[in-house]
Amino acid sequence: RVPYAEQTEAHYDAVMDLNARSVLTASRKAMPWLKRQGGFIVNTSSIAARNGAGGGAGLYGSAKAFVSNVTRGMAKELIGFNIRVNAVAPGTIATPFHERYSTEEQMKGMVATIPQGRAGTPEDCVGAYLFLSSALLSGYITGQVIEVNGGQLMP
């Protein structure tokens, strides 16, 4: 977590490489194979793509917004090759990242915004990834970002 005023070019590059450039690179490398036989791409966005993150995580939120928009753009571009492109956007998930970078007070604040009353787990996200990976279950779904957040961003 680095506030905007303290970010360096190296920090920007590291965040964008990990969260944005990696999506483009992995997808580009898979495209020749996918174009021959069709298939799917499932990206990982974040709740931060919608809420802008906070507490020094704004650049991360921007990178994940990039992922959500690239997902939609790729879906439009690749549907003619029978390639579906979607994303999963987890909410606050209890991971080593939060153990390292979020204070106990920050986690309590985030959990307080979740109607289900707890942070999610990686296992909570599995169903969305499996659903989007199945042509049988989601063969007519493309260009979508499925949020897995315990109701954290309900309208």
- What pLDDT, on the 0 to 100 scale, is given for residue 123? 97
What is the spatial distance between Cα 110 and Cα 57, in angstroms, rounded to a whole number?
A: 13
What is the spatial distance between Cα 42 and Cα 37, in angstroms, rounded to a whole number?
A: 17
Any idea what DSSP says for residue 52? -
Tell me the CA distances in angstroms from 57 to 4, 53, 118, one per residue in order: 9, 5, 21
- What pLDDT, on the 0 to 100 scale, is given for residue 155? 62
Which one of 4, 60, 101, 140 is the catalytic residue? Answer: 60
Mean pLDDT of 139-144: 99
E runs forming strands in the chain? 39-44, 83-90, 145-148
Structure tokens at 147: 């949020």
Active site residue 101: no
CA angle 48, 51, 132 (to 5 degrees): 50
Residues whose CB falls within 8 Å of the CB of residue 69, separated by 6 or more in sequence, listed in order: none
Kindly list the structural domains of the chain, giving each domain's residue range(s) and its CATH number in brackets, ordered by start: 8-148 (3.40.50.720)
Which one is predicted more confidently, 119 or 98?
119
- Please give the model's pTM, rounded to 2 decimal places: 0.91
Mean pLDDT of 23-42: 97
56 pLDDT more than 90: no
Strand order in the sheet with 83-90: 39-44, 83-90, 145-148
Tell me the CA distances in angstroms from 140 to 20, 116, 125, 144, one per residue in order: 26, 30, 21, 11
Q: What percent of the chain has pLDDT over 70?
A: 99
Tell me the CA distances in angstroms from 6 to 1, 10, 63, 100, one per residue in order: 10, 11, 17, 19
